[in-house]
Amino acid sequence: MVDIYSANNYNDYWRMTSSRRKRPLSSIILEPEIKDMILDDAKDFLENEKWYLDRGIPYRRGYLLYGVPGSGKTSLIHSLAGELNLDVYVISLAKKGLDDSDLSNLMAELPKRCIALMEDIDVAFKGSGKHDETDKDKDKDKDKDEAEPSNGVTLSGLLNALDGITAQEGRILFTTTNRLAALDDALCRPGRMDVHVEFKNASKWQAKMLFGCFFPPTSKLEAEKYAEEFAEIIPDRMVSVAALQGLLLCHKNKPWDAIDATKVWVKGQLEKRAEVAKEEKKRKEEVKGQKTSTASENNKDEDEDKGKRKKRRRRRNK
């Protein structure tokens, strides 16, 4: 079992909230090289504490899993916790009442060997990501307001909690985000987030593997036929693994019905995307037309002003 801990209502100590069965890593429909890389890296970290200490390197490891929603980030963390025999300590930065001091105390009270999990870390701060320099010059006051934390935890407080003098060593930190660009560079640097892994929408290989998990074959030939037909329907990297799983759950005992339903569903998704793209193109053309019209009016006004100035100069010369 994997025990799950979270902060109590007063954010001053950890309490166990649930236990979950260990999930086999083989049940995670993700490219094997990604799963193996993260698992091997985490095992290497846990087995080499002395190596870190001998070299004066803080004994901590951080992983940043980023990408589209429903791509398996949280599921992989749950499975890795079971593989590594570690409990999970969930830290919600958006929790009401949590401030820098509370966060620092919670991080300091983590066990030496555990997984600390911060999900959707991008929503903890408003405007704390990368800003264009021109935008700052245009509206400094607006940027200042947006940089304020959306709760009691500040970016500097989070950074200090992760690797400040009171930060616990020996723990593994996993963070997830759907918007990598929204994160501050200081948060993503090595030493805080050592390994960055992108999660994408489902590939055809993932679609095939997922179908095989739902419908155990009566024969190898039959399994290949059904799974390949299902994968062929799915546009590569267009829909999430979670969306495909939800679709298959509606037909979990009827593989042929699942395939037929998927054909209809994918057609609808493609039509919806085409409509959205059409509307977006129309909107851009309207904006472009408005800018052109405004520029023409400005040029016309400038020409009129020039004409008036010329007339005034002529009258003065006379």
User: Looking at the domain assignment, is residue 137 inside a domain?
Assistant: no
On the CB side of 141, CA atoms within 13 Å amount to: 0
- Looking at the fold, whether 220 and 253 belong to one and the same domain comes out as yes
Structure tokens at 277: 């793209």
Q: Single out the residue in 160, 181, 199 at which a domain terminates.
A: 199
The amino acid at residue 224 is E
- Looking at the fold, whether 12 and 157 belong to one and the same domain comes out as yes
- Looking at the fold, whether 171 and 257 belong to one and the same domain comes out as no
Q: How far apart are CA 277 and CA 205, in angstroms?
A: 27
Angle between helices 255-317 and 204-214 (to 10 degrees): 150
- Looking at the fold, whether 218 and 109 belong to one and the same domain comes out as no
Q: What is the pLDDT of residue 306?
A: 67
- Looking at the fold, whether 33 and 167 belong to one and the same domain comes out as yes
- Looking at the fold, whether 108 and 251 belong to one and the same domain comes out as no
Lowest mean pLDDT among 95-109, 123-137, 163-177, 258-272: 123-137
Q: What would the pLDDT profile of 219-253 be if each residue is shown by its tens digit?
A: 555 667 888 999 999 999 999 999 999 999 998 88
Which residues 6+ apart lie within 8 Å of 89 measured at CB? 5, 6, 14, 110, 111, 114, 115, 116, 117
Domain that holds residue 301: 202-317
- Looking at the fold, whether 173 and 32 belong to one and the same domain comes out as yes
Which residues 6+ apart lie within 8 Å of 48 measured at CB? none
CB 251 within 8 A of CB 258: yes
- Looking at the fold, whether 154 and 232 belong to one and the same domain comes out as no
- Looking at the fold, whether 103 and 178 belong to one and the same domain comes out as yes
Mean pLDDT over residues 280-290, rounded? 82
* CATH number of the CATH domain containing 89: 3.40.50.300
On the CB side of 98, CA atoms within 13 Å amount to: 26
Query: In the predicted model, is pLDDT for residue 133 greater than 50?
Result: no
Query: In the predicted model, is pLDDT for residue 193 greater than 50?
Result: yes
Q: How far apart are CA 64 and CA 69, in angstroms?
A: 14
What's the number of domains the chain is made of? 2
Query: In the predicted model, is pLDDT for residue 142 greater than 90?
Result: no
Average confidence score pLDDT of the chain: 85
What is the pLDDT confidence band of residue 127, given thresholds at 50, 70 and 90?
A: very low
- Looking at the fold, whether 186 and 278 belong to one and the same domain comes out as no
